[in-house]
């Protein structure tokens, strides 16, 4: 269970996240939905600690992680795949996976984790010696996803994983995320600009606008409220 309480994030004079509270349940996928600049990425960055929150609290399974440094949060099990397909371009696929494993100090064997990654995404096994920068967009996203999940962290934050990918790859990736969350009773927080796409996989969703939660509900409630969603993006008619 991931809980965020009254979180505030500012960049200088700009308030990116204003007093957001949410909870994401284990075994479920929770979506953050909203237009550009609604505060989705800032919220995630505050949860993983890349941007320190100005005020508020973040709890993972009841433990307060607000004061931890980002690499310490990574070690207690918060994995964050940032927007813009961030990856170690000059490292090979396997070096990326080793680096993502080793410093989080997870229990278990890397060898087994690696085998699992390669059986989930065989194309990564084929390209294990290739520099990550030379992979296609879809392959990079698979690698990023594997780097975020191979050590089986309890909380995974995925910032717009579908951006710029072909529909078939998006489907494959979402299938993987669904299975990951369900299989180990883990928290997945997913941000999406494409609301219907997010609602395809998410069990619950929060709609953000101008850094605030304007609407939240389960899949059905969100689907019923698509008109409201539309106005969150496109403004009120008339």
Per CB under 8 A, the list member of 32, 117, 147, 202 interacting with other proteins is: 147
Transcribe 79-127 into DSSP letters: EEE-TTT---TTSBHHHHHHHHHHTT--SS-HHHHHHHHHHH-HHHHHT
Residues 39-68 that bind other proteins (CB under 8 A): 48-50
Q: Which residues contact 217 (CB under 8 A, 6 or more apart)?
A: 204, 205, 225
Residue from 111, 129, 220, 236 touching other proteins (CB under 8 A): that is 236
CB of 173 to other proteins, least distance (A): 14
Using the rule CB under 8 A, is 114 a contact of other proteins? Answer: no
Contacts of 131 (CB under 8 A, 6+ apart): 89, 90, 91, 92
Contact 61, 187 (CB under 8 A): no
Distance of closest approach, residue 138 Cβ to other proteins, in angstroms: 14
Residue whose token pair is 């433990």: 63
Residue closer to other proteins (CB basis): 10 or 57: 10
Residues from 9 through 28 that contact other proteins (CB under 8 A): 12-14
Q: Which stretch binds other proteins (CB under 8 A): 1-9, 121-129, 181-189, 196-204?
A: 196-204
The whole-angstrom separation of Cα 49 and Cα 39 is: 15
For helices 93-102 and 137-149, the axis angle rounded to 10 degrees is 20
Nearest to other proteins of 122, 204 (CB atom): 204
**Three-state secondary structure of 191-221:** EECCHHHHHHHCCEEEEEECCEEEEEEEHHH
Q: By CB under 8 A, is residue 100 in contact with other proteins?
A: yes
Among residues 122 and 212, whose Cβ is nearest to other proteins? 212
Q: Select 99 or 119, whichever has its Cβ closest to other proteins.
A: 99
Pairing, β 2-11 against β 55-60: antiparallel
Q: Residue numbers of the site for other proteins (CB under 8 A)?
A: 12-14, 35-37, 48-50, 69-71, 74-75, 79-80, 82, 86-91, 95, 98-100, 102-105, 147, 160, 163-164, 167, 171, 192-200, 223, 226, 229-230, 233-238
């Amino acid at each position: 269970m991931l809980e965020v309480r009254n979180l505030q994030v500012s960049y200088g004079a700009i308030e990116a996240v204003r007093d957001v509270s949410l909870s994401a349940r284990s075994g479920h996928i929770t979506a953050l939905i909203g237009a550009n600049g609604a505060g989705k990425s800032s919220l995630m960055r505050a949860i993983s600690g890349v941007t320190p929150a100005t005020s508020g609290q973040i709890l993972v399974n009841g433990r307060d992680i607000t004061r931890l440094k980002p690499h310490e949060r990574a070690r207690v099990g918060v994995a964050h795949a940032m927007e813009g397909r961030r990856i170690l371009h000059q490292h090979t696929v396997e070096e990326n996976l080793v680096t993502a494993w080793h410093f989080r100090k997870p229990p278990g064997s890397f060898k087994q984790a690696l085998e699992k990654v390669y059986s989930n995404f065989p194309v990564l096994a084929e390209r294990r010696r290739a520099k990550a920068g030379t992979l296609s967009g879809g392959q990079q996203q698979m690698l990023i996803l594997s780097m975020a999940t191979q050590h089986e962290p309890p909380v995974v934050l995925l910032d717009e994983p579908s951006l710029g990918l072909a529909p078939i790859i998006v489907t494959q990736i979402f299938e993987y995320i669904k299975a990951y969350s369900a299989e180990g009773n883990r928290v997945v927080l997913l941000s999406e600009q494409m609301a219907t796409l997010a609602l395809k996989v998410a069990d619950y969703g929060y709609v953000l606008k101008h850094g605030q939660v304007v609407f939240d509900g389960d899949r059905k409630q969100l689907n019923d409220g698509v008109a409201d969603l539309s106005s969150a993006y496109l403004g009120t008619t008339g």
